[in-house]
Every structure is written in C-alpha cells, then in structure tokens.
C-alpha cells in the first residue's frame, strides 16, 4: 500500500521505460492484468475508482503518473518492476487501466436448469466453502474466448462406465436429468480431454452431478502437454486435503455442486490436455461427470 508521496516516488523510480516493444513481456503482463481483474471482481464492496481518486492526494498523483507513463511508452512495454507496482497501485484504481489494456469481455456460459435452491444445513464436510448466496459474477477473458472442448475426444481411467458414455462429458449437455451424466466406478478416477491443439486456457467449468446437493472429494484439475501427463504438468485446482489421491495436499476448498458448475480460473495457461480427478462423494463412492467446458483461444 502507498502511504505517502515518498513511497510513490520510490515506486516510480523503479520503473524503466523501454520504448521498444517486448512481445513476451507484453503477453505476460496481459495475463497478469486479466487474472488480477477477475480476482478483483470477486472482492465484496470494492471502492469506486473515481471516488478513491477524489479522496486521496496520493491516489491522484499515482493515477496521473500511470496514465502519463502509459501514453508515453505504452503500458505493455514496462519491464519486470511493474509486476510489483501493479500490486501496490491496485488499491488506488489500477483496475480501470487493467480492464482497458486487457481488452476483455465476460465469457458466455450457457447454464442448465436449476434443480434445487439453497444448500442443506446438515452437510458436514471439512474445509467446505460457504455458498455465495447469489449468482456467480461474470468471468472476464480476452475477447474471442470460447468453449474449445465441445465435441473433443475424452478418455477415462474407467474404461467401462457404469452409466452413460465417456463422450457425453464434452457433448454440451449440462442438464441434471437422467441420461445426461456419466457414472464411473468407485475410488480415485479421472477423465482426460484432448483439445487436439494447444490453447490459451482461461477457465474450466466442471459439472459433476447437480440434481441434488453433492460434494465430491479429491477434486484435482491438471493440464499437460502430453496425453500421459508426464510433460509440463500443472495443477490448477486441488481440494484433496489429506493427499488421499496421491497427487499432493491441496489448498482449495470442498464445494457443493450446483447448476452453475465449478469455475476454475486457469489464468491463460497454455496446454493441450486437461485431466480431472475425483474420489467419490459425500453420498457414495462413485464418481460422476455431466459436462466439462474449457474456455480458451488458440495459442499464438
């Protein structure tokens, strides 16, 4: 946080303006801006940008300086020190600049019919996140981002599902009705989606089974460059609190399945393959998938 003009001057002194375009850093900064923006939209009671400027002299100076710098050399051309500066300036209104620079828009998520309202109070699962109590806020991604997993090939650790066919996981049907979901065997199971090309992935939305409030255990979402998940494996979500699935202890929370699905911020990661794990649920040991949507753009 900036405390006074002296602190601000120290920050500005660390900036090194480079008038030559730097595509690699520009892309890295764009992703950082987009991720920061989506995190900011989830913060309750965010203070208005202009209201903050009017109340703080330091904020006026900081905002003015950022705008001037952007006009001279382009906000995309800052070198590494700006990464720290963005975090320090965000409380005083850098969010507005992030939005403009990133050229983002809400992704279009077609939701299925809602099957229940509210969450039963008798669900006792450790590390359970509190329901939002209102519709999920829009998720912003670069313009042109769309569901790139629709109709793509899917494989599974369970070669013979108990109910349904593996291909149903990417067929676009998110409804909770019978005939719309796949049931895999008990204990740890996983499904893998092949996007058939490398994409910049911004969000992954998964619907396990949402006909009634259900909590799935050891939900882990990973991406990789190869189908065997050996090369460049990255974990995007993990709520395995005791490493019972052998993929490491996760820091994410358990959650109740709803018609909105679980949205995972992928932060523009580049990958071709997506793998999702689960290890039964609070009702039985079976694993279910209704749909998985991967939102991204072809990697450039």
Averages of pLDDT over each 10 residues, the chain, 300 residues: 60 56 64 70 47 49 49 41 39 50 88 80 85 94 97 97 97 96 98 98 98 96 97 97 96 96 98 98 97 96
The answer to whether residue 135 sits within a structural domain is no
Q: Are residues 150 and 287 in the same domain?
A: yes
As a whole number of angstroms, the distance between CA 49 and CA 248 comes to: 40
- 272 domain residue, yes or no: yes
Same domain, 280 and 192: yes
Predicted pLDDT of residue 217: 98
Q: What is the pLDDT of residue 13?
A: 62
Half-sphere exposure (Cβ direction) of 215: Cα atoms closer than 13 Å: 20
Q: How many domains does the chain have?
A: 2
118 part of a folded domain = no
Distances (CA, A) of 298 to 62, 94, 182, 295: 36, 28, 28, 10
Structure tokens at 230: 């050996």
Report the half-sphere exposure of 54 (CA within 13 A, side-chain side).
Answer: 5
Indicate whether 125 belongs to any domain: no
Give 89's contacts (C-beta < 8 A, 6+ positions apart).
2, 11, 62, 66
Of 205, 217, 197, the residue nearest 125 (C-alpha): 217
> Which pLDDT does position 10 carry in this prediction?
64
Identify the domain boundary among 102, 122, 152: 102
In a domain, 123, yes or no: no
Instruction: Give the range of the structural domain holding residue 238, as residue numbers without chain letter.
Output: 140-298
Predicted TM-score (pTM) of the model is 0.72
Instruction: Give the pLDDT confidence score for residue 77 in this predicted structure.
Output: 41
CA 94 to chain centre: 21
Q: Is residue 128 part of a domain?
A: no
Q: What is the pLDDT at residue 76?
A: 39
Q: What is the pLDDT of residue 38?
A: 77
- State the distance between the two ends of the chain, measured CA to CA, in whole angstroms: 35
Same domain, 294 and 183: yes
Task: Give yes or no: residues 181 and 57 share one domain.
Answer: no
Same-domain pairing of 186 and 79: no
In a domain, 244, yes or no: yes
């Amino acid at each position: 946080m900036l405390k006074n003009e002296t602190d601000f001057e120290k920050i500005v002194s660390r900036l090194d303006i480079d008038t030559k375009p730097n595509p690699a850093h520009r892309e890295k900064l764009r992703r950082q801006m987009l991720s920061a923006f989506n995190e900011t939209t989830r913060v309750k009671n965010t203070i208005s940008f202009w209201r903050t400027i009017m109340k703080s002299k330091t904020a006026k100076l900081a905002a003015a300086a950022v705008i001037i710098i952007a006009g001279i050399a382009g906000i995309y051309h800052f070198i590494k020190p700006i990464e720290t500066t963005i975090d320090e300036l965000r409380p005083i209104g850098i969010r507005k600049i992030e939005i403009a620079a990133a050229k983002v828009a809400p992704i279009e998520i077609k939701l299925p019919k809602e099957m229940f309202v509210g969450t039963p109070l008798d669900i006792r699962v450790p590390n359970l996140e509190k329901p939002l109590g209102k519709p999920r806020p829009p998720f912003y991604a670069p313009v042109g981002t769309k569901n790139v997993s629709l109709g793509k090939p899917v494989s599974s650790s369970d070669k013979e599902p108990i109910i349904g066919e593996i291909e149903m996981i990417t067929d676009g049907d998110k409804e909770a009705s019978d005939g719309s979901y796949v049931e895999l065997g008990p204990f740890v199971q996983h499904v893998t989606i092949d996007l058939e090309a490398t994409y910049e992935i911004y969000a992954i939305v998964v619907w396990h089974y949402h006909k009634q409030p259900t909590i799935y255990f050891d939900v882990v979402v990973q991406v990789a460059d190869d189908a065997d998940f050996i090369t460049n494996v990255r974990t995007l979500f993990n709520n395995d609190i005791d490493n019972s699935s052998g993929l490491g202890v996760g820091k994410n929370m358990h959650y109740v399945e709803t018609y909105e699905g679980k949205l995972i911020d992928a932060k523009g990661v580049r990958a071709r393959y997506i793998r999702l794990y689960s290890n039964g649920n609070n009702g039985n040991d079976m694993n279910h998938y209704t749909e998985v949507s991967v939102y991204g753009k072809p990697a450039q």
